[in-house]
Amino acid sequence: MTLRLGDTAPDFEQDSSIGKIRFHEWAGDSWVVLFSHPADFTPVCTTELGLTAKLQPEFEKRNVKAIALSVDPADKHRDWIRDIEETQQTVVGFPIIADADRSVSTLYDMIHPEASLTATVRSLFVIDPAKKVRLTITYPMSTGRNFDEVLRVIDALQLTDGYTVATPGNWKDGDDVIIPLTVQDPAVIEQKYPKGFTSPRPYLRLTPQPNK
């Protein structure tokens, strides 16, 4: 199964480092970052999980829950968490799915046969409170993920959900945003973008971020 943007993230029930999880119930009304790892006790994954743990306050500010996945069993996850906490000097406050039967990995198309027949690639999904897939990123197993980019995209998604704007390349929270081409009525523009806008081209209209 290939998940596309806008698809409903499949529900599942699976063991984890904190016990059995039913995914949609666990997610509740939060945004979710679901990300997979090739195996426990691997060096790149250890740094990624440590970084995610350190970013927990940033995720909480954005109403985001993190949940990891590996095809190893739950008891091995719990041993690995102790290693992560010791080597990365943090506390892992999120679960790791124990996908020993690879059912979730298959459901989310995390195993790419040309990369590995048994291990997941570094897939990451951002899922909104309506359980819709809003972002997918897949890295090769040798390359660690950029979680600053994950936070940046979540900021952009939450901003554009709340306001009629788009974000330019390399946008960061606080930068100017774009008035979409779908908005053309001058009265609507004045009402929606009271801070005004600059327009270096008729199709390119920049306005200050509306919630700043």
Q: How far apart are the first and last CA of the chain?
A: 40
Annotated catalytic residue within 45, 111, 151, 156: 45
Q: Tell the residue number behind the tokens 């698809």, with chain if given.
A: 7
Beta bridge partners of 35: 68, 124
C-alpha to C-alpha distance for 10 and 99, rounded to whole angstroms: 15
Task: Let me know if 78 is a catalytic residue.
Answer: no
Q: How many other CB atoms are found less than 10 A from the CB of residue 205?
A: 19
Q: How many other CB atoms are found less than 10 A from the CB of residue 150?
A: 22
Cβ distance 55 to 64 under 8 Å? no
Q: What percentage of the chain's residues is helix, strand, coil (to nearest 5)?
A: 30, 20, 45
Q: How many other CB atoms are found less than 10 A from the CB of residue 132?
A: 13
At 84, list the tokens: 């992560």
C-alpha to C-alpha distance for 108 and 67, rounded to whole angstroms: 14
Q: How many other CB atoms are found less than 10 A from the CB of residue 170?
A: 7
Cβ distance 21 to 95 under 8 Å? yes
| CA-derived radius of gyration, the chain | 19
Catalytic residue set = 45
